[in-house]
Amino acid sequence: MTERTPLIAGNWKMNLGGAKGCELAEAVARAAQAHPNVDVVVAPPSTVIAAIAQISEENGKKLEVAGQNLYPKSDGAFTGEISAPMLLEAGAKWVILGHSERRQYFAESDDFVREKVAASLAAGLRPIACVGETLEEREAGKTLEVVNRQVDAFASLLSEQPGFGVIAYEPVWAIGTGKVATPEQAQEVHAAIRARLRETLGADVAEKTRILYGGSVKASNAAELLACPDIDGALVGGASLDAEGFAKIIQAAG
């Protein structure tokens, strides 16, 4: 079996877009240096991507920076949008795509997420593509149907460079609710996603693609989730805004 390096990513969402974000990034960069066997990424608001990329440069480059979204054109008349080449130029190496908040509040469809994943890969920006079912879908027994549909929309794009892109499984009912999926619930879906990748794209893509869990991950529950064989890391929201708590999650992955 391929060894997959654990990846802990902090999604700051619309928080800490100024000096406080830079302070947090300094602390996270130190925690990343202390755990060289864990890949560490933060996704701050785009206003501080360049500053945090600079902080990473000054602190051993172990911390990498992600955008939280992109528009799938490289430039042009798209007021308010940011492209993959712009994120790269600002110092980001990653981008979160298809987050459930974008799907929910900005009506992003599976097709649009696919376009975004394609744009990020074409630019050389590593996508963290998010999937996950709502509570209603879970209760209707549709979890795997929904997650497979979302994964199928972009997965074939990941096969050109197996391991370059990452998938995040974030059950919508567990995001920001304090209601974390049990390790068994999470592992079941992660294993199903990997099986789907194996079936549709082959063993190499399935073994090399890291699948992160997201949804109310915190220092106290990270270790048991990360111990599951198909959980290769975490995409952390609220708990990534606290340096000490986030450092403990990084430690739990090491």
- Catalytic sites, residue numbers: 99, 170
Task: Determine the Cα–Cα distance for residues 120 and 219; give it in Å rounded to an integer.
Answer: 31
Sign, CA dihedral 197-201-206-208, equals: negative
Instruction: Report the residue from 235, 247, 249, 253 that binds ligand 13P according to the rule CB under 6 A.
Output: 235
DSSP 8-state assignment for residue 15: -
For ligand 13P, what does the binding mask look like between residues 159 and 188, x meaning CB under 6 A? -----------x----xx------------
For the CB of residue 176, give the shortest distance to ligand 13P in the complex, in Å.
Answer: 4
Q: Of 78-107, which residues contact ligand 13P (CB under 6 A)? A: 99
The verdict on 217 binding ligand 13P (CB under 6 A) reads yes
Binding string, residues 18-57; x marks residues near ligand 13P by CB under 6 A: ----------------------------------------
**Contact of 208 with 163, CB cutoff 8 Å:** yes
Least CB distance to ligand 13P at residue 186 (A): 13
Contact between 214 and ligand 13P (CB under 6 A)?
yes
Do the Cβ atoms of 63 and 24 come closer than 8 Å? no
162/222 with CB nearer ligand 13P? 222
Lookup: tokens for 103: 């799907």
Residue 117's closest CA among 105, 126, 104? Answer: 126
Q: Count residues near ligand 13P (CB under 6 A).
A: 14
* 3-class DSSP assignment, residue 2: coil
Is the separation of the CB atoms in 232 and 7 below 8 Å? yes
Residue 236 binds ligand 13P (CB under 6 A): yes
